[in-house]
Amino acid sequence: MQAAMMMNRSKMLCRVWLCGAAIWLATAAPASAFLAYVSNEKSNTVSVIDTDSWTVTATIKVGQRPRGIELTRDGKSVLVAVGDDDTIQIIDVASQKVVDSLPSGPDPELFTQDATGKILYVANENDNTVTVIDLEKRVRMGDVQVGVEPEGMAISPDGKILINTSETTNMAHFIDTATREIVANVLVDARPRFAEFKRDGSELWVSSEIGGTVSVIDPAKRVVTDKIEFNIPGLRREAIQPVGIGMTRDAKTAFIALGPANRIAIVDAATHKVIKYLLVGQRVWHMAFTPDEKYLLVTNGVSNDVSVIDVTAQKVIKTIQVGELPWGVAMARP
Partner 1 sequence: MIRWLIGAISLCAVTSSALAAEPLTISIGYLGQAGIKATLSLVELPSENDGIAGARLAIEDNNTTGRFLKQQFRLEEVRVKDGDDVAGAVRDLAGRSTFIIADLPPDALLQAADAVRDRGGILFNVGAADDRLREADCRANVIHIAPTRSMLADALAQYLVWKQWKRWLLVVGSHDDDRLEADAYRRAAARFGAKIVQERVFEDTGGARRTDSGVTLIQRQIPVFTQQAPAYDVMIAADESEVFASYLPYRTWDPRPVAGSAGLVPTSWHAAQDQWGAVQIQNRFNKLNSRRMTARDMQAWLATRMIGEAASRTNSGDGNAILTFLKSPDFSIAGFKGQRLTIRDWNLQLRQPILLVDGRMVISVSPQEGFLHQVSELDTLGIDRPESKCRLQ
Binding interface with partner 1 (CB under 8 A): 107, 125-126, 128, 147-149, 166-171, 173, 182, 184-187, 190-191, 209-212, 221-227, 236-239, 241, 260
Cβ proximity to partner 1, 182 vs 269, nearer residue: 182
Q: In angstroms, what is the minimal distance from the CB of 261 to partner 1? A: 11
How far lies 244's CA from each of 11, 20, 173, 205, 272, in Å? 50, 42, 18, 10, 16
Cβ proximity to partner 1, 173 vs 198, nearer residue: 173
Q: In angstroms, what is the minimal distance from the CB of 68 to partner 1? A: 14
Q: In angstroms, what is the minimal distance from the CB of 258 to partner 1? A: 13
Q: In angstroms, what is the minimal distance from the CB of 127 to partner 1? A: 9
Cβ proximity to partner 1, 85 vs 167, nearer residue: 167
Q: In angstroms, what is the minimal distance from the CB of 218 to partner 1? A: 9
316 Cβ neighbours under 8 A, 6+ residues apart:
278, 279, 280, 307, 308, 309, 310
Give me the sheet containing 295-300, strands edge to edge: 284-289, 295-300, 305-310, 315-321
Q: In angstroms, what is the minimal distance from the CB of 229 to partner 1? A: 9
Kindly give the pairing relationship between strand 139-145 and strand 192-197: unpaired
Q: Is 283 helix (H, G, I), strand (E, B) or coil?
A: coil
Cβ proximity to partner 1, 171 vs 298, nearer residue: 171
Concatenated DSSP letters for 45-102? Answer: EEEEEETTTTEEEEEEE-SSSEEEEEE-TTSSEEEEEEGGGTEEEEEETTTTEEEEEE
Cβ proximity to partner 1, 53 vs 225, nearer residue: 225
Cβ proximity to partner 1, 222 vs 294, nearer residue: 222
